Structure 1
């Protein structure tokens, strides 16, 4: 099986608002996700943006690519 590993932009917008947006890679455009039974999304928060806590019935891994946190 040959695997195509290319970085592509997310192709679906789940939500977009003043505080940021949530973008999704669809299984139709990224078949490797289907094969591996994975999903991929990107949460983009603007300065002072806030994401509400939520429940999910699956495990998630998050990475902070840039920015700061103050408490």
Structure 2
């Protein structure tokens, strides 16, 4: 549940960032989200829980790809 609460807070901030129109703000939030998800994946590896590893890792990759795409556009 701690990961859900943290991710929910980041999601709310990310949605607010989209309405501000600031690319730098959106990028900063995206970077924070990727860091959190990578940390969750590392924790999943350490506790040997495949679901807690693959889910956050996949989400981090998708978020990172979206960030790169946004910055390249």
Is TM more than 0.5 here?
A: no
Structure 1 or 2, whichever has the larger Rg, is 1
TM-score, structure 1 normalization:
0.25
Name the structure with the higher helix share: 2
Task: Provide the TM-score with structure 2 as the length reference.
Answer: 0.25
